A and B are shown apart, each in its own frame.
Chain A
Amino acid sequence: MEENFQQPIDAGLQGESAASDANDLRFTPKVYRHWREISIWGIAFSVLSFLLCALLLLVSISALWLEGDSKIFLLAFVAGLAILFTFSWLLFNFSRHLRKAVLYQDVTAAHVGFVNLRRLFQFSGILQIAAIIIYGIVLLGMVILLDK
Chain B
Amino acid sequence: MEGNILYSSEKRDYATLSMYQEWRTTAFWAKMIAVITYVFLSLAALAYLLILIALYFEGEGPGSLFDDLAVNSIVIYVISTIQIPLYFIINTFLFRFSKSLRTAVEGKDQEMFENAWLNFRNYFRWLGILAIISIVLSAIIASLLYYIISTIKIDIPSIW
Contact = CB atoms under 8 A, between A and B. Distances in A.
A27 B17 CA distance: 14
A105 B143 CA distance: 45
B33 A124 contact: yes
Contact of B9 (A37, A109, A115, A121): A109
Interface string B5-30: 11111111111111110110110011
B121 A108 contact: no
A111 interface: yes
A24 B7 contact: no
Interface residues of A, number: 49
Interface in A111-143: 111-112, 114-115, 117-118, 121-122, 124-125, 128-129, 132
Interface residues of B, number: 42
Contacts of B33: 121, 124-125, 128
Interface stretch (A3-11, A56-64, A69-77, A78-86): A3-11
B117 A20 contact: no
A27 to B, nearest CB: 5
A28 B118 CA distance: 13
A9 B5 contact: yes
A123 to B, nearest CB: 9
B15 A25 contact: yes
B14 A9 contact: no
28 contacts: A6-B6, A14-B8, A14-B10, A23-B108, A24-B108, A25-B104, A26-B15, A27-B15, A31-B113, A34-B118, A37-B121, A37-B124, A38-B117, A38-B121, A41-B127, A41-B128, A48-B131, A104-B9, A104-B11, A105-B11, A106-B11, A107-B16, A108-B7, A114-B22, A115-B22, A121-B26, A125-B33, A128-B33
Interface of B: 2, 5-20, 22-23, 25-26, 29-30, 32-33, 36-37, 104-105, 108, 110, 113-114, 117-118, 120-121, 124-125, 127-128, 131
